[in-house]
């Protein structure tokens, strides 16, 4: 009697339908959870990076400010009264007209056009980075080169 009831119960198509729906629901929730956690981890990483950038901008501004302060300090050490006092201290005195002689060079033209200075330049071959195309083959080559470089560094 009881066995018949169980058989009857399990053989009902309705129950089978419900179990499938439950499985699909559980699967959906699992997928949603995975996607959600992936999204949250991405968002968290993004937020952390933003915070880091913000901190770096703040630090940069602070360093710039400190730099300006130092330049200001240097400028206040280079004021004329200070330089003058120091010059007097080490034995200099202000020049007078009597200390100055003007020499005129007959063949020297002070208004001549200065010839532009051409610096001697030496060209070096700049190392070029390998270029990989954005295909599977390119990716494979990049990975291979990466491994090869790693092995080369191991070998010293």
Partner 1 sequence: MPERSSQQAIIHARLPIVALFLIILAAMLIVHLANFQFFPRSVRQELERIGSSITNTTLRIPAERGMIYDRDGEPLTFNILQYRLGVSPNLVFDAETLMKQLSVILDMDEVELYFKLTSDNVWEFVAGPISAEQGQAVAALGDISLGLEEIPKRFYPQGSLAAHAIGIVLDDGLIGTLGVEGAYNSTLAGRVMDLSVSNVPFSLPEDRPAEQRGQDIVLTLDRDVQFWMEAELEQAVKENGAFRGSIIVMDPRNGEVLALANYPSFDPNRFLEITDPNLLVNPAVQETFEPGSLVQALTAAAALESGAITEQWSYNDIGVIEIGGREFRNRYFRSHGAVDIAGVLSKSLHVGSATMALEMGEEAFYNGLRSFGLGQATGVGLFNEELGELRLRGDTGWSESVFGLNTYGQGMEVTPMQIITAFATIANDGVMRQPHIVRQVIGEDGAIDARLSTVRRVLSTETARFVKDLLVRTVREGAPEAYMPNYTVAGKPGTAQINTAIGFEAGPNSSIVSFIGFLPADEPEVVAMVKLDRPDDFFGFEVAAPVFRRIADRLVILLEIPDDAAQRALHAVEASLRATPAGQE
- Residue ranges binding partner 1 (CB under 8 A): 43, 46-47, 50-51, 53-54, 57, 62, 65-66, 68-69, 71-72, 75-76, 78-81, 84, 94-97, 100, 102, 104-112
What is the sign, positive or negative, of the torsion defined by CA atoms of 76, 80, 86, 89?
Answer: negative
Least distance (Å) from partner 1 to the CB of residue 84?
8
Smaller CB separation from partner 1, 91 or 94:
94
Least distance (Å) from partner 1 to the CB of residue 150?
33
**Rounded Cα distance, 141 and 144, in Å:** 5
Least distance (Å) from partner 1 to the CB of residue 75?
4
Smaller CB separation from partner 1, 95 or 120:
95
Least distance (Å) from partner 1 to the CB of residue 72?
4
Least distance (Å) from partner 1 to the CB of residue 44?
10
**Rounded Cα distance, 132 and 140, in Å:** 9
Task: Find tokens 């991405």 and name the residue.
Answer: 42
**Rounded Cα distance, 3 and 87, in Å:** 116
- Where helices occur in the chain by DSSP H, the ranges are 2-10, 13-77, 80-89, 136-154
Tokens at residue 101, please? 């002689």
Instruction: Characterize 38-52 residue by residue with b for buried, 16 or more Cβ atoms within 10 angstroms of its Cβ, and e for exposed.
Output: eeeeeeeeeeeeeee
Smaller CB separation from partner 1, 106 or 131:
106
Smaller CB separation from partner 1, 7 or 50:
50
Smaller CB separation from partner 1, 95 or 118:
95
């Amino acid at each position: 009697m009881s066995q018949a009831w169980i058989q009857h119960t399990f053989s009902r198509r309705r129950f089978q339908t419900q179990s499938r729906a439950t499985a699909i629901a559980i699967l959906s929730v699992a997928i949603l959870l995975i996607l959600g956690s992936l999204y949250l981890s991405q968002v968290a990483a993004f937020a952390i990076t933003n915070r880091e950038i913000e901190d770096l901008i703040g630090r940069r501004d602070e360093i710039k400010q400190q730099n300006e302060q130092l330049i200001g300090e240097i400028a206040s050490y280079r004021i004329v009264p200070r330089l003058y006092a120091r010059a007097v201290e080490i034995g200099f005195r202000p020049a007078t007209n009597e200390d100055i002689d003007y020499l005129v060079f007959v063949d020297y033209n002070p208004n001549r056009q200065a010839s532009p200075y051409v610096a001697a330049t030496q060209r070096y071959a700049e190392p070029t980075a390998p270029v990989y195309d954005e295909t599977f083959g390119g990716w494979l080559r990049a990975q291979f080169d990466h491994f090869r470089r790693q092995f080369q560094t191991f070998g010293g």
